[in-house]
Structure 1
Amino acid sequence: MKRLVTVFSLLLVAMLLSVQSFAQSKKNLMIEDTYEAPVGRLFNEAAYFKGNTYLNEYTNVIVINKAAKGPTAQTLRLYTNRQLILTTDVSTGREDIEKIGAVRGVVNKIFKGATSSHWRHTTRGFYSVKRIEGPNYRSGESKFKMPYAMFFNEKRGLAVHQVPPDLSGGESAGEAMLGQRASSGCVRVHKNTIYQIHATVVAADRGHIPVLDTKTGQPLRDQYGQVRYERGYKTLVIVEEY
């Protein structure tokens, strides 16, 4: 009996240590990047429509509300030259930690999926599109399909893209979650809508764009106080949460 009590006690201690370890690793992972904007409205639609904001120097503005609840939660709005072109439901990051153990990490590396624990987080802020991919693009890490990916935060590997057709349960399972948080951080869009967004971004192409502060959306300035410009895609992605 004493041996059983000892074994049970050791198992209980091991479980408590495991829970504490996971809680600490979760806390370490869930740290917002220094460039991330605060919670709240970031897009001033009235100023944009009037044309008196630096956002108007972009041909397209894509506004995503990553909130879990609310009338505009989990939606994407596409504006082109001060006109609202479309509004559609999306799925942003789950905002939780996906725990990947050693065994699962090896399996995922051989097949598909993330190889280490990570925060399934969609970063808030102002981001110009950095890279555009086509219909057959796959994630470099997970190998999942990311059709029509438009990357806006390459540090985090975040993009606006079609719901992956190779999700567990099939594409329809991912589409059924649109309007709810469901991704690993990217912004998922229905297959019937993504092509229009992608084509609009491609059509705008690259050009001379102001370099914006990712937290505030205000232009960065050089040592002489002049607005900094660079050549880049003329599409801005704004991720807000309210």
Structure 2
Amino acid sequence: MSKYFLLVLVVLFTATEVQAGWWDKWWPPGRRRRSPPPSRPPAPISCEYSPEEKQRIIPIESEKAYERTPVSYPVERFDVQSAMVTRPWLRDFRYIIVINKAATGRTAQSIMVFEDGYPILQDRVSTGRETLELRRRHETCLKQPPNSYYSVTATGYYPIQQLIENHRSESFDADMPYSMFYDRSFGLALHQVNEAFLSRLGSRASGGCTRLRPGFAEELFFLVKKTKGAEIPVFKKDGSPVLLENGQIKRTKTISTSDGRSSAYSAIVIIQDIVE
């Protein structure tokens, strides 16, 4: 009798309609565990603007970019002998660093370093691309600047403001070894070139800084570093000295940096744009 009873129960349980009704009564569909759908990897984010995007944002970003771009000042062709006559205060600098950012010509994209008025170092460099750099398309695109600007290496006269041996650019997520900052407000510096851009020395290829060959950058960095604490003349970016009320040139042993003020260096950077 018990065998027949068990057989009936099995038949009733396995019957489709009875099983479905009993199952749903005691375990409603909402309480059942369901396997999650298979996850798909997120689509890769492109850091490149489409032609349509560029057409839309370039007019807007080009206007904003001017606010983040340094102003250039006229600089005549540098000749050390005549410069010492027209600007005698230059003699107070141990090192005069002259960069020609011209795109073409015999001395285009070059650097010459003078020590006490005598040339000691010369090489090819890479200055700014001189073009509109669009802000990063997405926050993960770290090789692009956070804000639009023009990659201009501005001409003018600049003091060395700060030395950082192992600096890393937050804007471009890139190393800048042996950085010699001369315009901290715009993040402009002389620094060692990344190995990937070594072949571009001699052309306009940077984001605005001046890239130097490995070895050259290190040597110049430590030459300038030895002059820390010097008293230097105060001058403007157009190359005119700042005068006191008595007509004497103002002098200082400290200079403004991103962290306030620090000891001055006996080095001046002169950036020109001369085709010759």
TM-score of the pair, normalised by structure 2? 0.70
Distance in 2 separating the partners of 1:93 and 1:75: 13
Residue 267 (structure 2) aligned to one of 235, 238, 241: 235
1:87 aligns with 2:122: yes
Q: Which is higher, the Rg of structure 1 or of structure 2?
A: 2
- Any idea what the Cα deviations from partners look like across 1:183-231, whole Å, max 9, x if unmatched? 000000111311111121112223111111211x121112333311111
Structure 2 stretches of 5 or more lacking a match?
A: 1-50, 254-263
The two structures, once aligned, show a CA RMSD in angstroms of: 2.3
Code of the residue aligned with 2:245 in structure 1: it is: Q
Checking the alignment, whether the CA contact within 8 Å between 2:136 and 2:144 is kept in structure 1 is no
Shift of 1:86: 1.1
SS in 1 for 2:224: helix
Residue 184 (structure 1) aligned to one of 207, 214, 235: 207
Checking the alignment, whether the CA contact within 8 Å between 1:47 and 1:53 is kept in structure 2 is no
Range with bigger deviation, 140-149 or 89-98: 140-149
Residue in 2 aligned with 1:199?
222
TM-score of the pair, normalised by structure 1? 0.79
Residue in 1 aligned with 2:172?
142
Distance in 2 separating the partners of 1:225 and 1:176: 48
Distance in 1 separating the partners of 2:73 and 2:78: 12
Code of the residue aligned with 2:228 in structure 1: it is: D
Checking the alignment, whether the CA contact within 8 Å between 1:61 and 1:236 is kept in structure 2 is yes
Code of the residue aligned with 1:241 in structure 2: it is: D
Code of the residue aligned with 1:126 in structure 2: it is: Y
1:98 aligns with 2:98: no
Residue in 2 aligned with 1:47?
82
Code of the residue aligned with 1:207 in structure 2: it is: A
Residue in 2 aligned with 1:6?
none
Residue 219 (structure 1) aligned to one of 226, 237, 241: 241
Shift of 1:113: 4.0
Structure 1 stretches of 5 or more lacking a match?
A: 1-14, 165-170
The percent of aligned pairs where both chains have the same amino acid is 30
1:107 aligns with 2:140: yes
1:72 aligns with 2:107: yes
1:132 aligns with 2:163: yes
SS in 2 for 1:195: helix
**Closer/same/farther in 2, CA of residues 142 and 79 from structure 1, 3 Å limit:** same
